[in-house]
Amino acid sequence: MSETMIKIKIEKLEEGGYLATSETLQGLIAQGRTIAETLEIAQDVAKRLIESYIEHGDPLPFEIKEMKSFVVTTSVPVTVNA
């Protein structure tokens, strides 16, 4: 088992909820009520897409490779009741 990092874009939807897509992994589309839920669904979709590539012998997008080491800088939503 190995891990990899892919870039995911999350957008807030006007009708509520969030939408995740990825330019790195075409076909990745996930929608959830919260950012956390959307990320969780996106991870599952990404895993299934990558497993499908491997199962069918298709080459993975060149940006997807096993991580040797990494540092991630990101932003996270924090709800504060003031």
Mean pLDDT for the chain overall:
86
Amino acid at 50: I
- Burial class of 41 by CB neighbour count within 10 A (0 to 12, 13 to 18, 19+): middle
Q: What is the mean pLDDT of the segment spanning 46-64?
A: 87
- Output the pLDDT for position 40: 94
How far is CA 82 from its chain centroid? 31
pLDDT category, 1, cuts 50, 70, 90? low
For domain 1-82, the question of CATH label 3.40.30.10 is answered with no
Q: What confidence score (pLDDT) does residue 66 get?
A: 63
pTM, two decimal places? 0.78
Q: CB–CB of 7/22 below 8 Å?
A: yes
Q: What is the CA radius of gyration of the chain?
A: 14
